[in-house]
Structure 1
Amino acid sequence: MFTRCPSCGTAYGISVRQLREGRGVMLCDHCGRVFNALPGLEESVPDPYSRPPRTGAGRWFRGGRGREDRPARPGFFLRLAWGIGSIALAIALLGQLAYFGSTRFAQDEALRPWLVMLCDAVGCQVPPYSDVESIQIVERTLRPVPATGGYEFRLVMANQSTAAQVFPSIVLRVVDRQGKPAAGRVFSPAEYLPKGSGLSMMPVGKSLEIRLDLAKPSREISGFTFELI
């Protein structure tokens, strides 16, 4: 059997199976017209006859729906606008996460590199890395200085973290013979770092010696405690 496109007159060979599967609806490969193949069925070969291409004579539509029956898809620019908007919203949300959670996330060695990349993109600043738990205390002593009547506190510490970190502050307290606090003070890095050291961050694996001079206390000293903050 044969049928003909009512728009351009192109003829196609068809079978009963094709008619059944496409419910009689086909698309002309020549002019793009969707038409009903049933009214134009012929038993003899029409003249002129267009032999079907290797991919099939026309395009058959299952369920009887042609191309113009399909629901219109969103336009390219609409989809592009939605995509750009979604990306911008995601970046904004990540920026807020980086800004408000940067202090906590910046102290995580695994998350910090990603946070740095994110802040570079959105323009936020990552707080300096700090992990006092990874600072090893190599040596600590408190000895009297006869010439002044005061004391000298000596501390050797090393950063055992995998990254350079800010220098901690040192909280030093001394106690009398009854174990009661006699004096205490917080020393900032600017106060205990050697003059002219040029150090802004505590290097990894390198020991640093600190010496602090303490004034003569009002009571006799028998011990001390300290912590890094």
Structure 2
Amino acid sequence: MYTQCPECLSVFSVDARTLAQAHGFVMCGHCGGSFDCIATLADQLPPEPFTELPSHEPGVEPPRLESAVYRPKPEAAADETLPLRDDFVDLTVTPRFARESRANRPRRWPWIIACLLLLFGLLAQLGWALRDTLIADATIGPLLQQTCAVFQCRLPQVHDVSKLRLLARDVQTHPTVAGALMISAMVRNDASFTQPWPVVTIRLSDGNGKTIAMRRLNPYEYLDDIDALRRGLAPGASTALVFEVEDPGHQAVAFDMGFE
């Protein structure tokens, strides 16, 4: 018998065993298409040249087989007079697939711990990036200081010169060094956190307000106490600063002081 692929029109030879394997549904070995080979099943090929094998319309109803060749005898019915006893009626059995699914269930707690560690690490990085803002905050800053005092740690110093107040200042001729001036100032830290010592800028100007001399002094240049330099300026603390600068002459009639 012969059949034809409707996609590539290739003709194949088939037998009854091939038809019975998939109920007539086969796959073309040339183009890979799947098709019903019974629709074009033919006993013989038409005379060449031919293009397509004739298609058979499927029947509305399947044919009914009447001539039986062999019919097996029915088995003897079981004796229904005696009730069957089931000794395992109260036995509860867990299906094998349920046991396997419970045994193969993945453990989630390592993933939960890993996610929590990653979350804590992310929060620590965020807190370190925003440390100046958090320490300078009026609500969070004191809590951080109290927590750090309990664990005996030290918070990083936050620099905010807008919280530094110049309470008093004075300039006079140096009493022991010729050609020098001695400038004193009283500074207070109005912030709620410890600040590092600022860079002090001193400007000397003439009567017209023109700057004739300027000096920027780093903390280590005007502060000799290394421990005080390391501790910084505590919140609410006031301190006196003394600067020794060169006298620019009689043209200097005014001076100004700022913090950086």
Q: What range describes the TM-score normalised by the shorter chain of this pair?
A: 0.5 to 0.7
Structure with the bigger RCO (C-alpha within 8 Å, sep 6+) is 1
Is the Cα contact below 8 Å between 1:143 and 1:152 reproduced in 2? yes
Residue 215 of structure 2 aligns with which residue? 185
Once the two structures are superposed, what CA deviation does each residue of 1:29-86 show, in whole Å capped at 9, x if it has no partner? xx5458xxxxxxxxxxxxxxxxxxxxxxxxxxxxxxxxx6xx97994x5311220221
Task: Flag the 1:81–1:150 CA change in 2: closer, same or farther, 3 A.
Answer: same
Say which of 159, 172, 176 aligns to 1:130. 159
RMSD over aligned CA atoms reads 4.0
* Structure 2 letter corresponding to 1:88: L
Name the count of aligned residue pairs.
165
Taking the TM superposition and a 5 Å limit, the aligned residue runs for 1:29-48 are 31-33=91-93
Alpha-carbon distance in 1 for matches of 2:146, 2:103: 40
Is the Cα contact below 8 Å between 2:136 and 2:192 reproduced in 1? no
Asked whether 1:170 is paired with 2:200, we answer yes
* Structure 2 letter corresponding to 1:208: T
* Structure 1 letter corresponding to 2:227: G
* Structure 2 letter corresponding to 1:9: V
Gaps of 5+ in 2: 1-85, 149-153
Taking the TM superposition and a 5 Å limit, the aligned residue runs for 1:134-149 are 134-145=163-174, 148-149=178-179
Residue 228 of structure 1 aligns with which residue? 259
State the shift of 1:220 in Å.
0.8
Task: Flag the 1:204–1:145 CA change in 2: closer, same or farther, 3 A.
Answer: same
Is the Cα contact below 8 Å between 2:136 and 2:193 reproduced in 1? no
Is the Cα contact below 8 Å between 2:202 and 2:256 reproduced in 1? yes
* Structure 2 letter corresponding to 1:153: I
Is the Cα contact below 8 Å between 2:195 and 2:233 reproduced in 1? yes
Q: Percent identity?
A: 20
State the shift of 1:218 in Å.
5.4
After TM superposition, the structure 1 stretch with the greater mean CA deviation from structure 2, 141-150 or 203-212, is 141-150
Residue 181 of structure 2 aligns with which residue? 151
Alpha-carbon distance in 1 for matches of 2:232, 2:89: 84
Residue 96 of structure 1 aligns with which residue? 125
* Structure 2 letter corresponding to 1:198: D
The structure carrying a bigger strand percent of its residues is 1
